[in-house]
Amino acid sequence: MEGITGFRLINSRFPPISLFDDVADEGEFDALYELQALTNPRLQTELGNLNLIDKAEIPFGIPGCSYATGPFTHVNPEGSRFSDGQYGVLYMGDSIDTAITEVAYHQSRYWQGVHGLDYDRLVFRGLKCKVGAMAIHDATTIDFGDPIYDPHSYGTSRVFGRKLYQAGSEGLQYHSVRKPGATCWGLFTPRHVRSIIQSAHFEFIWNGQEISSVNKFTRA
């Protein structure tokens, strides 16, 4: 597939991981990691589980390397649409509006399970992602009524994603489930990411029942 320009949001409470951005290649990373590990007890928490990714897959030297690598070292053990929690996926939408719609749905679903929270303000970084040409599976050829697009159950889609991952696929293109007509991507490797830069901040308002509004309030 030709290059991709995608958009994603991450919670601002998760800062960029400076060590990924401070080095140009794997050799520099190993040397700096060994040095910092002696003095920084938080290093492992910041970097995540490095055993979940081959360091040869990390695109050292690009703008936003930490943003590209984070989803693969801080894997949600509860999984996602195309992962059972055993491996990471870098998800992107075809516009910032698509990313907002997807994140607003998942945030609402999460906070609905937190009892007693009547109001909260959540701040997310908007990220613009440039990805080079790569070999990915085009799941937009699959009818939107297929179980991989089930809006509530990820059982079929996780089996589908694992088969692609195990077959060596670099990712997939698929229909957005939360924004009809939009397209999303899920990358199984950050290797082809060329840059990820911050574009804006967005404030999500939780009113006790749902995300009631989303406001853009700064620009990078």
User: Where are the domains positioned within the chain?
Assistant: 4-219
Residue pair 29/35 in contact (Cβ under 8 Å)? The answer is no
The model's pLDDT over 169-200, given as tens digits with 9 standing for 90+, comes to: 999 999 999 999 999 999 999 999 999 999 89
Q: What is the DSSP letter of 179?
A: S
In this prediction, residue 174 carries a pLDDT of 98
- Per DSSP bridges, beta strands 137-138 and 120-131 are unpaired
**Contact by Cβ (8 Å): 128, 163:** no
Are 136 and 1 a contacting pair, CB within 8 Å? Answer: yes
pLDDT at 38: 67
| Whether the Cβ atoms of residue 69 and residue 58 lie closer than 8 Å to each other | yes
Using an 8 Å Cβ cutoff, are 192 and 133 in contact? yes
Q: What is the mean pLDDT of residues 41-69?
A: 91
pLDDT at residue 27, as a whole number = 92
**Strand, helix or coil for residue 4:** strand
Candidate from 16-25, 89-98, 139-148 with smallest mean pLDDT: 16-25
Residue 203, SS3 per DSSP: strand
Q: What is the pLDDT of residue 220?
A: 44
Q: pTM (2 decimals)?
A: 0.92
Cα gap 87→162, rounded to integer Å: 9
80-109 pLDDT, tens digit each? 999 999 999 999 999 999 999 999 999 999
